[in-house]
């Protein structure tokens, strides 16, 4: 079984954990971004996969004016932080836990419209 979707959302890297008053918490921007991804995915009514999962994800970013000659977004946020945000947001929607993701192909590039393209399938 496979599922694919295009999420018209601005890709955002997962924020660092914050510490205060004897506890650890996630910053508000990260919580809001994860909630937006969850909401967009739930509208698509994807299957929740139970076994090992293969994921292909492409993050498309707007090219800043300062990057006219730079062909790829080789600046912050890091690709792994974009991926962490997405994996956590997809828990209980595309899979039960992101530990099920056994194979990942990910990329980030510039484009005219920000979005995240996801393809997920069961590994056999």
- 51-88 pLDDT, tens digit per residue, is 999 999 999 999 888 878 888 888 778 999 999 999 99
What is the structure's pLDDT at 15?
78
Host H or E run for residue 29:
helix 28-44
Please give the Cα distance from 93 to 44 (Å, whole number): 10
Which of 20-34, 74-88, 109-123 is predicted with the least confidence, judged by mean pLDDT?
20-34
3-state class of 116 per DSSP? strand
Residue extents of the structural domains in the chain: 2-122
Please give the Cα distance from 107 to 123 (Å, whole number): 20
Please give the CATH architecture assigned to the domain spanning 2-122.
Answer: 2-Layer Sandwich (3.30)
């Amino acid at each position: 079984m496979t599922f694919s979707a295009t999420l018209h959302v601005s890709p955002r890297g997962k924020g660092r954990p914050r510490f205060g008053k004897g506890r650890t918490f996630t910053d508000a921007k990260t919580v809001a971004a994860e909630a937006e991804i969850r909401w967009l995915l739930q509208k698509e009514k994807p299957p929740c996969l139970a076994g090992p999962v293969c994921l292909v994800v492409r993050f498309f970013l707007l090219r800043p004016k300062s990057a006219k000659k730079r062909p790829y977004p080789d600046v912050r946020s890091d690709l792994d932080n974009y991926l962490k945000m997405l994996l956590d947001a997809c828990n209980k929607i595309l899979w039960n836990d992101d530990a099920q993701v056994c194979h990942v192909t990910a990329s980030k590039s510039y484009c005219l419209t920000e979005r995240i393209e996801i393809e997920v399938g069961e590994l056999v």
